[in-house]
Amino acid sequence: MTVLSVNVNKIAVLRNSRGGDEPDPVESARVALAAGCAGITVHPRPDQRHIRADDVPRIAAVLGNAEYNIEGNPFAPPHGSYPGLLELVRAVRPAQVTLVPDDDGQITSDHGFDLRRDGARLQPLIRAFKDNGCRVSLFMDADSPDIERAADTGADRIEIYTGPYAHAFACGDSARALDACVRTAERARAAGLGVNAGHDLSQKNLGVLNRAIPFLAEVSIGHALFGEAIYEGLAVTVRKYVAILAA
């Protein structure tokens, strides 16, 4: 069964917009885990505009046997109190690291890796993450020509960037975008890679994707989930996502 990792970045955005300590992403992680999700995702950026470096170990401390997935740009240097992705990983040793080629100026992650350009640079970093006991996933565009190259870097999985699929679904014409995700997943599996997916997934579009890729290992969902939770409550919303994946 595909498992759900809840991305708690949005709780940190809300906290940071006011200052102080509330709402606390640690408490949101506790509620999501109690409601049945399999893990928690965070994406600490160098500008720390949502999850901060000091949140990372606090969240790790409440996970128990749940999976911790830390996302980030492996090329981003330390900045202020942000020590760099590898140092954060060394401190908490998450189950999974998802590498994302985002820049500080991006509002959100909006494209996958170009491995013809970055593959050689990624290989020693991936080895370093794996030396710390982490599974490594690479954020990749659907129908990228580089899917097979992901296996050559030493990565264990890819995460399909599902933003274009979600946009097409909202417009009522998702067949082509869904097919691209399916083709990408099948190519990754043929190359010996596991398959995750994430970005703009919601209760409306998740079931279709999950049925189309029955071997999907994990989805990471934050923005839509917390938007829905504003109206229904976090625990209820997490349970609904878990039910979709179990159907």
**Cα distance between residue 76 and residue 61, in whole Å:** 25
Residue 190's CB is within 10 A of a number of other CB atoms, namely 11
pTM for this predicted structure: 0.93
Query: What would the mean pLDDT of 209-234 be, rounded to a whole number?
Result: 96
Residue tagged active-site, from 27, 50, 67, 71? 71
Assign 188 a pLDDT band (cuts: 50, 70, 90): very high
232 is catalytic: no
93 pLDDT band, cuts 50/70/90, is very high
C-alpha span between 4 and 130 (Å, rounded): 22
Tell me: the pLDDT tens digits for 153-174?
999 999 999 999 999 999 999 9
The least confident of 1-10, 33-42, 74-83, 106-115 is: 106-115
High-pLDDT (> 90) share of the chain, % = 91
The reported pLDDT for the residue numbered 111 is 82
What are 108-128's pLDDT values in tens digits?
767 899 999 999 999 999 999
Confidence of residue 107 (pLDDT cuts 50, 70, 90): low
Angstrom CA distances, 219 to 53, 106, 115, stand at 23, 22, 22
- For the CA atoms of 46, 105, 28, 95, the dihedral, rounded to the nearest 10 degrees, stands at -60
pLDDT computed for residue 102 by the predictor: 82
Q: CA 202, CA 3: separation in Å to the nearest integer?
A: 14
Phi, psi (degrees; rounded to nearest 5) at 77: -75, 165
The catalytically annotated residue of 50, 159, 199, 228 is 199
Q: Is the pLDDT of residue 53 over 70?
A: yes
Domain boundaries, the chain: 3-246
- For residues 18 and 50, give the distance between their C-alpha atoms in angstroms, rounded to a whole number: 12
- Is 167 one of the catalytic residues? no
CA dist., res. 221 & res. 242, Å (int): 11
- Strand segments (E) across the chain: 3-7, 39-42, 67-72, 96-99, 135-141, 157-161, 194-198, 218-221
Q: Which two tokens stand for residue 185?
A: 């997943």
Task: Assess whether pLDDT exceeds 90 at residue 106.
Answer: no
CA pair distance 9, 76, nearest whole angstrom: 18
In 53-114, which ranges are continuous DSSP H helix? 55-60, 85-92
Tell me if residue 71 is catalytic.
Answer: yes
Whole-angstrom distance, CA of residue 72 vs CA of residue 43: 6
What pLDDT score was predicted for residue 217?
98
Place of tokens 């128990």: 64
Give pLDDT, residue 141: 97
| pLDDT (0 to 100) of residue 212 | 98
% of the chain with per-residue pLDDT over 70: 98
Least confident of 26-30, 34-38, 101-105, 241-245: 101-105
Catalytic residue among 43, 159, 218, 228, which? 43
Class of domain 3-246: alpha beta
What's the confidence (pLDDT) of residue 105? 65
Distance CA 172, CA 170 (A): 5
Contact yes or no for 6/222 (Cβ under 8 A): yes
Q: So what's the pLDDT on residue 35? A: 97
Kindly indicate the confidence band of residue 103, based on its pLDDT and cuts at 50, 70 and 90: confident
Q: How far is CA 94 from CA 37, 86, 149, 233, in A?
A: 16, 11, 24, 27
Give the mean model confidence (pLDDT) for residues 86-113: 87
